[in-house]
């Protein structure tokens, strides 16, 4: 049984931070940051509680938090604010046009379209046919360079590979051919990736022009060189190089 004795504490913390948000030395951004951190604690508690019970429930908590954060940032910056959200395809692409919808899952792409369509929302996806990528074989595993095999036959990656070129597709919903309105597998490569599962996994059934407004396709990709995540060892200088 999952204990519930910390839920009231994190909610009370959020309320207290909200009440104090405008008292941080007259610095609105400092107040916003403090309140946002309290909100992260509240939603994280809810997320981990949901994760114990159901994957789809915890997924929705996470993307609802993303959308709530976006709303708060836009409200804080003002009515003319524009934002770019960089996230994985499974978060950005509208979940209603994948098999995620059947599992009761939503994402920030869907929520942004539903809540901010009149403000001008553009969802852009990304994919490739083959190449290499930086990923891990489990959460918390060391990152490594992995080879990405050729896209599965019949997948969106395979279809676009047949065109023979890199391209940016911008979809006109009024001029889509029947071929573009079919449900096809669309490869998902995240922090965790298993190239050996290509024949039976890694693909999300997708109506590509409905899931995205535009799609960047690169036929062959190369793994990025990751930034250093730990500072290099630096020996302190010898203060007395010639002795004393």
What is the DSSP track for 168-229? EEE--TTS--TGGGS-EEEE---SB--GGGTTTSSEEEE-HHHH-SEEEEEEEE----PPPS
Nearest to 186 by CA among 94, 104, 66: 94
User: What are the tens digits of pLDDT across the range 143-179?
Assistant: 899 999 999 999 999 999 999 889 999 999 888 888 8
Q: What is the pLDDT of residue 63?
A: 94
Cite the beta strand spans of the chain per DSSP E.
124-135, 144-148, 167-170, 184-187, 203-206, 214-221
Write out residues in the chain with pLDDT < 70, as ranges.
1-26, 52-56, 229-244
Question: How many Cβ atoms are within 10 Å of 19's Cβ, its own excluded?
Answer: 10
Q: What is the pLDDT of residue 7?
A: 61
132 backbone φψ class: left, alpha, beta (φ>0; ψ -120 to 50)? beta
| Cβ atoms of residues 178 and 158 within 8 Å | no
Q: What is the pLDDT of residue 118?
A: 72
How is the chain split into domains, by residue range?
A: 7-118, 124-221
Handedness of CA 187, 156, 60, 42 (dihedral sign): positive
CATH H-level, domain 124-221: superfamily: EreA-like (biosynthetic domain) (3.40.1660.10)
List beta partners, residue 184: 206
Q: What is the pLDDT of residue 239?
A: 42
């Amino acid at each position: 049984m999952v204990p519930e004795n910390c839920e009231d504490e994190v909610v009370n913390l959020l309320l207290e931070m909200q009440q104090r948000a405008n008292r941080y030395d007259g610095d609105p951004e400092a107040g916003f940051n403090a309140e946002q951190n309290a909100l992260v604690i509240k939603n994280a508690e809810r997320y981990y509680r949901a994760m114990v019970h159901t994957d789809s429930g915890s997924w929705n908590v996470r993307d609802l938090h993303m959308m709530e954060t976006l709303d708060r940032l836009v409200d804080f910056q003002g009515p003319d604010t524009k934002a770019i959200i960089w996230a994985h395809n499974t978060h950005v692409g509208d979940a209603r046009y994948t098999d995620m919808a059947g599992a009761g899952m939503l994402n920030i792409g869907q929520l942004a379209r539903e809540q901010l369509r009149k403000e001008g929302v553009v969802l852009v996806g990304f994919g490739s046919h083959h190449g290499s990528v930086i990923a891990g074989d489990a959460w918390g595993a060391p990152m490594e360079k992995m080879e990405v095999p050729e896209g599965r036959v019949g997948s969106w990656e395979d279809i676009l590979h047949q065109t023979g070129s890199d391209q940016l597709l911008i979809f006109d919903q009024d001029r889509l051919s029947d071929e573009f309105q079919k449900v096809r597998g669309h490869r998902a490569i995240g922090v965790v990736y298993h190239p050996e599962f290509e024949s039976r996994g890694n693909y999300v059934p997708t109506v590509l022009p409905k899931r995205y407004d535009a799609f960047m396709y690169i036929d062959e990709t190369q793994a990025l060189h990751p930034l250093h995540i730990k500072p290099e060892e630096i020996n302190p200088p010898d203060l007395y190089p010639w002795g004393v």
